[in-house]
Amino acid sequence: MEKVVRYTGSTVPLAVIALDFDPVVRYGDNAVRLETIALAVTILVALLAATAIARRTPVDGPDSSDANGGTARLHVDDLVVLVLAVIPGAVAGGRLGYALLHLDYYATDPLSIIDPGQGSLELSLAVVGGALTGTYAARLIDVHVGRWLDVAALPLLLGIGLGKAAMALGGRGQGSPSDAAWATSYVGDRAWASLAPAIPSQPSQLYEAIATLVLLLALGVVLWHRPFAQNGLVFLVALGGWGLVRAVVAATWRDAPVIGPFLAEQLICLVIVAGCLVIGTRLARPAFAIPLEPATAEPGVSWRPASDAHDRDSGGPR
């Protein structure tokens, strides 16, 4: 639509997507942001997805049969412990990442890094930090680390993709100013979460949401047709793929470059991608030896239910 947006003292006609809605839901004397509601639903959906995948993932080892003689699955109660263990690592990693993005400020006042009332969290290192503390907790409770990492791969992408889309409900995550036809502008006297929301800008949060969900779909299709050894490789593919997506999308952010054309966030993402490549290369060697037709004793990571695996082995429908 044709929209006239006023900024920097001038009036410029731009064909943009103008968004004008109340980002706050009010009930009585209370209020809650639409973005907060959407994020809560996103976390719930991601946890349900992780639960569903865990219930289809077999336990390794000689004692992997359940009480009924069937294949034992990962214990969902372990998932609760691991999710709780992820939180401190995510907070610490997210805070470190935020300090790296604003290094000039925190270099002069380093104690502000531990001040919970100042600043925010950065997503990339929050994911890495959560993965590290979750892995440590998995070792403490003596569960298969690689299996649980791979269980988390698709729910992680789902949570990030939906979470990024939820940011658009509050006007958060807008990119650099743009005159593209798909540029978004948040208008009206609303409680928008971005600076200068009326300026038509790149919808960076939606770019990342769409690209992450496409990555989720692609990885899900691969796992449907070809299970992988449950050694953490799937998680590394998901994390590295998302890191690459985020590095590309960050080029549309409003942040200033710190080294050449690269933003601080892009450098963080590229380090994560490099780390995933190094570790994944070592893990991939035995995984690539897995035949296309998985053995019944080791179905691997797959969206296929156990009944489908039985049909495949017995010559049933494919």
3-state per-residue secondary structure call for 252-299: HCCCCCCECCECHHHHHHHHHHHHHHHHHHHHHHHHCCCCCCCCCCCC
Side chain identity, residue 291: P
Tokens 């049909």 belong to which residue?
Answer: 311
β-strand 2-7 against 24-27: which pairing, if any? unpaired
- Mean of the per-residue pLDDT values of the chain: 83
pLDDT confidence tier of residue 77, bands split at 50, 70 and 90: confident
Nearest to 203 by CA among 171, 172, 164, 174: 174
The residues, ordered by sequence, that sit 6+ positions from 115 with a Cβ below 8 Å of its Cβ are: none
Q: Which amino acid is at 225?
A: H
pLDDT of residue 283: 80
pLDDT at 71: 54
**Of the candidates 134, 130, 51, 46, the residue with the CA atom closest to the CA atom of residue 93:** 130
**Residue 124 has what pLDDT?**
97
Tens of pLDDT, residues 216-252: 999 999 998 887 777 899 999 999 999 999 999 999 9
CB 149 within 8 A of CB 232: yes
Domain positions in the chain? 2-74+144-306
For residues 95 and 115, give the distance between their C-alpha atoms in angstroms, rounded to a whole number. 10
Tell me the Cα Rg of the chain: 22
Is the confidence at residue 312, as pLDDT, over 60? no
What's the DSSP call for residue 70? S
List, for residues 136-158, the tens digit of each pLDDT value: 999 998 888 999 999 999 999 99
Identify the weakest region by mean pLDDT among 40-54, 76-90, 220-234: 220-234
Asked if pLDDT for residue 43 goes beyond 60, the answer is yes
Count of CB atoms situated within 10 Å of the CB of 191: 12
Residue 141, Cβ density class (10 Å: 0-12 exposed, 13-18 middle, ≥19 buried) = exposed
Given this model, what pLDDT does residue 15 score?
Answer: 53
Element (H, E) at 42: helix 34-56
- Determine phi and psi for 13, rounding to 5 degrees: -75, 125
Q: How far apart are CA 87 and CA 105, in angstroms?
A: 26
Among residues of the chain, what percentage have pLDDT more than 70? 81
Looking at residue 313, its pLDDT comes to 43
Does 92 score more than 60 pLDDT? yes
pLDDT at residue number 310: 42
> Who contacts 113 (Cβ-Cβ below 8 Å, separation ≥6)?
95, 96, 99, 106
Q: Give the burial string for 248-265 (b: 16+ CB within 10 Å, else e).
A: ebbbbbbeeebeeeebbb
Q: Please, what sign has the CA dihedral across residues 154, 156, 161, 166?
A: positive
At residue 60 the predicted structure's pLDDT band, cuts being 50, 70 and 90, is low
